[in-house]
Amino acid sequence: MPLHDWTNLSGWEGLHDIWIVELLRHIKPQLPEGYRAYIGSTPALTIDAPNGKPDVAVRQWLPEMHESPKTSDKSFPEPDVEVATLSLDPQTALYVTIQGRMIAAVELVSPRNKDRPTSRAHYLSRYLSYLQEGAHLLLVDVHPRPLNFSFADALAQELNLKREPCPPPLAISYRVGEPAAQGGRLVGIWQRGLSVGQPLPSMQLALSVHAALSIDLETTYQKAAADIYLT
């Protein structure tokens, strides 16, 4: 199924949830022995360090709170004002781990990831934190808005990569490699521009410097779109 024009099209949240599941089903049979793939959410505390860089390792997952903490018998004072302003990050992604260590992630960019400057800064830091922790990343963004912004370009700037601009829709995959002679680490990049009305490409998802999976974006997207009757 060719890529839809997501400029004004509704239904993305439903597609996102199903597409990430289809990607999981597609990836799991390809994994070597000892690897595990699952869907989850990342810790919220991966941004806003004083220097603007992530300061919490993305491999250190935070436990979910299932019970409210116990309080004393004394009445807990009520707040003077209570308003609805904060929400936990609902964005889920697909992770690949080995021996409990996260080594790769697949992220499908949602409009809310980049609708405001604070959102763009938050998610840029989230994606950058994967790479800084040595995890490989496949990032897919089918949303052309906002104009003049691209996570691929923003990541290139953070990583000091000199390359031509790559506006969305796009798919880009990063492989974190060996230490570079001039310092830092080598980063391999597979980059594809996406076009409305055209099939999506297959992309590489690195598991190591010498191993990668081929991710069929077109087939998984087609199955997800069919499930929500998106034609």
> What is the SS3 string spanning the chain?
CCCCCCCCCCCHHHHHHHHHHHHHHHHHHHCCCCEEEEEECCCCCCCCCCCCCCCCCCCCCCCCCCCCCCCCCCCCCCCCCCCCCCCCCCCCEEEEEECCEEEEEEEECCHHHCCCHHHHHHHHHHHHHHHHCCCEEEEEECCCCCCCCCHHHHHHHHCCCCCCCCCCCEEEEEEEEEECCCCCEEEEEEEEECCCCCCCCEEEEECCCCCEEEEEHHHHHHHHHHHCCCC
Q: What is the pTM of this model?
A: 0.81
pLDDT band at 182 (very low <50, low <70, confident <90, very high): confident
pLDDT tens sequence across 193-228 = 999 999 999 999 999 999 999 999 999 999 999 998
